[in-house]
Structure 1
Amino acid sequence: MNLGSCRDILDRYFQEGLPELACAIILRDLLLALQYLHRQFYIHRSVRASHVLLDSNGNVRLSGLRSAASMMVRGRRQKQLHSLP
């Protein structure tokens, strides 16, 4: 993404924090991404600012999916996930 991660943007331009409206927009899109993953029976186990990517159009993408874990084992949905990264 052409602006980089939220972590990069915070470090470069917003050392005091993002404006509340920007946080709300980013969090809305992040929650939609997590909702999609959960509907696919995946859990993202490493959500952090460095895994939230932004572009100049305000699009938000979630990266770091290597740490995602499937809640499906042998075709059955698991209620608990015990393995931690």
Structure 2
Amino acid sequence: MIRHALAAALALGAASPAIAQTKPPSPSGIDDNRLICRKIDETGSLVRKQKHCFTKAEWDRIAESQRRGTVRMIDELTSKQGG
């Protein structure tokens, strides 16, 4: 299930247009425009991995999107248990 959420978030991140960065560099010292590549398990395979490359800012946006989706899903599931 988490893989599906990650795939959806990656698809959303890849489909969104690039936004000009106007904020100062991140406090961690990592350039937000630097490309970061990660290998992600391919859904339905025990061995295959897909390589996804995004900037730090895009990875942060993907992580935030996933966090919001997880919180929303938990809220929906817990609200339906009351019967």
The question of a shared fold, defined as TM-score above 0.5 by the shorter chain, is answered with no
Question: What is the TM-score of this pair, normalised by structure 1?
Answer: 0.32
Question: What is the TM-score of this pair, normalised by structure 2?
Answer: 0.33
The structure with more helix, counted as a fraction of residues: 2
Q: 1 or 2 for the larger relative contact order (CA 8 Å, sep ≥6)?
A: 1
Larger of the two Rg values belongs to structure: 2
The structure with more strand, counted as a fraction of residues: 1
